[in-house]
Amino acid sequence: MKSLKFIVLFFAVISIQLQAQSPDGYDLWLGNSAIEVSEFEKEYKTFTTSVYFQSDSEMLTVAEQEMKNGLEKMLGQSLDFTKELNSNSTLIVAKKNALKTEILNSISSDFDKLGEEGFIIKTIKVKGRKVLLVSANSDNGILYGVFRLLHLMRTQVSLSEINLIDAPKVDIRMLNHWDNLDRTVERGYAGFSLWNWQKLPEYIDQRYIDYARANASIGINAVSLTNVNANALILTPMYIEKVKALANVFRNYGIKVYLTARFSAPIEIGGLETADPLNASVQTWWNTKVSEIYKEIPDFGGFLVKANSEGQPGPQNYGRNHVDGANMLATALSPYKGNVIWRAFVYSEHDDTDRAKQAYAEFVPYDGRFKDNVLVQVKNGAIDFQPREPFHPMFGAMEKTPLMMEFQITQEYTGFSTHLVFLPKLFEEVLDSDTYQKGKGSTVAKVIDGSLHNNKITGVAGVANIGTDLNWTGHPFAQANWYGFGRLAWDPYLSSNTIADEWIKATYTTNKEFVEPIKKMMLSSREAVVNYMDPLGLHHIFDTGHHYGPGPWVNNLSRPDWNPVYYHKADTEGIGFDRTPSGSNATEQYAKEIEKLYNNPKTIPEEYLLWFHHLPWDYKLKNGHTLWDGIALKYQEGVHQVEAMITTWENAKSFLSEEEFNEVVMLLKIQLKEAKWWRDACLLYFQTFSQRELPEGVEKPKETLEYYQSLKFPFAPGIRPRWN
Ligand code: BDP
């Protein structure tokens, strides 16, 4: 009998564990199922015996529904939500203004730390009874508190003594969708655009709601819907109505909508002859356009603008500058408290100085001249979202301009949605970098959250990796990059370790035997991709156009700085881009401390070596290897790291459903094949210059260089379309 009971219990536990997973990945880290049986189950059930939820606004009604659904699914029982706060309440979710004095007295000072979006989750004593309280100053804060509470339970955190006060450190936490109106997604590897323009505004796809819920759960509060390579049609009444329908869905989840503004829109859809920002009729056109938008979308966020960059129109077409352009749009938006997010991703075909220096040269002289509602959006590095880049020198150079970080969540240069690469590790590295702008400790995170320069407005943007794929992001582990981006935008000081831990527990299981090795695999995956694509500071050696696979040999594109040979500069002497005073002197754009460190190959961190130095093939690395051997061994190490990832995943099989297991195993096997491709293609090509044998331990390439050079991928996803 006893053993029968045990067997029944054993299967009950197993079945609950299996249920806890969502094999198709649609539910993301939010889960949609019962939580694992745990030591805290009783505690959670006690706290949720009688729930009071203040739901006197649309957003709070949505939050209440989220909470009820979430709790009931997790706890596997229906719950009693009351309309009255009474002496039986075990969980109270209410804003400060709805709390009784007896509760308020014990926590009132906490509210000062919450601002508009923060929340408190705390166990308090009411008449000798333990009560769990979720509170905030605003509806938004409650919404975030609700999602955090659900997350804490899903990841099995004890609530019995909880005292969590959390508020975002950054104002605008934004996804940039590079989605075209025909639903293709530039650099998108997870299907088509979520925005079904054809059926909008009438048809509201459930995915819009699920998308908004996922974003709110990690604190994302802004989305720009359209490609930075913009189409002016989005600003016409027909599309504004569709945008309004999306904004109506997102509003209840605390998300504001932004649009990309094509600078030449006054000509293309306005019938003007010019888009000159200093022309009065152009300013009037934008003023009117903005007022039309706000009439429909009163909380419209503003415009994201790519101007005079890669062929996009901009103020320079009229002999004006970035300040003229940004301030003109800022003037139109400022009566409505809208913002201009002006991108600094510029490099010119008429400028033959090092591309890495151009954005700094173009923008830093304008520091202090932008209007208050302008943020300048800067990519994390000075070239273009490479697997590793030193931080962009603009982050240490503009005191009077709010600089918004632009990360790329979509994996344009890190193996598309095919490779498992945990990007928060990259984001963290950038945020932790010290600019030395105001002495030691002036990290990029402090520039971004405004604490270094006391900025009035702050922001972080990530180029989205989301599409119509059933699991949203293509690779199941690419969900962790969306998740991690949101968490870091909320708190740029979070560690990638914490983020990986949270994500694994919420998405799969809290079982240590699974969590620890998988976390290790995720945390090492970013270094793996650097090793098998771009070791020791190599960069931009991707094949043309699609950026899928290696193309270090490409040398025939119309602009020098589009060619990989421009970046690695390999010759019979050596390899690397000299950015010291003997070369382009890009190092002078950094603070003295860094400049000195980076100018010397002996003191520069070796991961940036060939970014800043052209060195002989026999140059001795810190580990005693020659540069040639070191490069080859790094490529090989990257391959080994992917092999280890496969072993880790295979060992975790018992925790996964068959679909979950198989999907990732197949992807990892492609990743391994492609890591070898990168290694072999790059080493064969660089060997034509180094004229040296591969060192011991590096596998011999299976194909010839000519073979790798002959590979073509005309239909690789995400290729930049000819949009105009
Ligand atoms: C590059 C992409 C290109 C984008 C551009 C940008 O290859 O598709 O349009 O950045 O950020 O990374 O504007």
pLDDT of residue 242: 99
Q: Do 353 and 214 fall into the same domain?
A: yes
518 belongs to a structural domain: no
Catalytic, out of 139, 324, 406, 412: 412
Q: Which residues are CB-neighbours of 714 under 8 A, at least 6 positions away?
A: none
Q: Do 159 and 185 fall into the same domain?
A: no
- Boundary-marking domain end, from 146, 166, 186: 166
pLDDT of residue 3: 47
Q: Locate the ligand 1 atom nearest the alpha carbon of residue 463 and give its number.
A: 11
620 belongs to a structural domain: yes
Ligand 1 pocket member 228 (CB < 6 A): yes
Nearest Cα residue to atom 8 of ligand 1: 720
Q: Report the CATH number at residue 125.
A: 3.30.379.10
Ligand 1 mean position, distance from CA 463 (Å): 10
Ligand 1 mean position, distance from CA 544 (Å): 13
What are the helix (H) ranges across 315-408?
A: 322-333, 355-363
Residue 97 has phi, psi (to 5 degrees) of -65, -10
722 belongs to a structural domain: no
**498: which 2 tokens?**
């914490």
Ligand 1 mean position, distance from CA 549 (Å): 17
Q: Do 73 and 178 fall into the same domain?
A: no
CB 718 within 8 A of CB 415: no
Ligand 1 mean position, distance from CA 685 (Å): 26
Distance CA 129, CA 87 (A): 9
**322: which 2 tokens?**
């970035």
Ligand 1 pocket member 384 (CB < 6 A): yes
91-95 sheet: strands from edge to edge: 81-82, 51-53, 91-95, 129-136, 119-126, 163-166
Catalytic, out of 43, 205, 210, 310: 310
Ligand 1 pocket member 227 (CB < 6 A): no
CB 591 within 8 A of CB 436: yes
Q: Locate the ligand 1 atom nearest the alpha carbon of residue 229 and give its number.
A: 9
pLDDT of residue 85: 87
pLDDT of residue 111: 94
355 belongs to a structural domain: yes
514 belongs to a structural domain: no
Nearest Cα residue to atom 9 of ligand 1: 229
Selection from 716, 676, 669, 660 nearest residue 420 by Cα: 669
Q: Which amino acid is located at 674 in the chain? A: E
Q: Which amino acid is located at 290 in the chain? A: V
Beta bridge partners of 459: 172
Ligand 1 mean position, distance from CA 427 (Å): 18
310 is catalytic: yes
Ligand 1 mean position, distance from CA 497 (Å): 29
Cα 193 to chain centroid, rounded: 17
Q: Do 94 and 196 fall into the same domain?
A: no
Q: Do 393 and 340 fall into the same domain?
A: yes
Q: Report the CATH number at residue 679.
A: 3.90.1330.10
Nearest Cα residue to atom 3 of ligand 1: 720
| 179, 184, 186, best to mutate for ligand 1 pocket (most atoms within 8 Å of CB) | 186
Q: Locate the ligand 1 atom nearest the alpha carbon of residue 312 and give its number.
A: 13
- Boundary-marking domain end, from 122, 137, 166: 166
Ligand 1 mean position, distance from CA 567 (Å): 17
Cis peptide before 201 (omega within 30 of 0): yes
What are the helix (H) ranges across 23-138?
A: 41-47, 58-75, 101-107
653 belongs to a structural domain: yes
pLDDT of residue 721: 60
- DSSP class per residue in 87-107: TT-SEEEEEGGGS-HHHHHHH
Q: Which amino acid is located at 339 in the chain? A: N
384 is catalytic: yes
pLDDT of residue 67: 97
**230: which 2 tokens?**
């913009």
Q: Report the CATH number at residue 399.
A: 3.20.20.80
Q: Do 377 and 451 fall into the same domain?
A: yes
**284: which 2 tokens?**
């009037």
CB 127 within 8 A of CB 143: no
| 345, 385, 413, 547, best to mutate for ligand 1 pocket (most atoms within 8 Å of CB) | 345
Distance CA 668, CA 674 (A): 10
554 belongs to a structural domain: yes
Query: What number of other Cβ atoms are within 10 A of residue 367's Cβ?
Result: 15
Ligand 1 pocket member 385 (CB < 6 A): yes
Ligand 1 mean position, distance from CA 45 (Å): 49
Q: Do 188 and 301 fall into the same domain?
A: yes
Answer yes or no: pTM beyond 0.85: yes
What's the domain count of the chain?
3
Coil vs helix vs strand at 135 = strand
Q: Do 185 and 162 fall into the same domain?
A: no
- Boundary-marking domain end, from 473, 507, 541: 507
Q: Do 477 and 361 fall into the same domain?
A: yes
C-beta contacts of 4-8 below 8 A and 24+ residues apart: none
Q: What is the pLDDT of residues 18-45, one digit of tens each?
A: 344 467 999 999 987 788 777 898 999 9
Q: Which domain holds residue 474?
A: 172-507
Catalytic, out of 384, 501, 629, 674: 384
Q: Do 127 and 220 fall into the same domain?
A: no
Q: Do 125 and 237 fall into the same domain?
A: no
Q: Do 571 and 434 fall into the same domain?
A: no
**541: which 2 tokens?**
């050696």
The residue ranges of the chain whose pLDDT is under 70 are: 1-22, 721-724
704 belongs to a structural domain: yes
Q: Which residues are CB-neighbours of 685 under 8 A, at least 6 positions away?
A: 550, 552, 553, 570, 705, 708
Ligand 1 pocket member 428 (CB < 6 A): no
Ligand 1 pocket member 427 (CB < 6 A): no
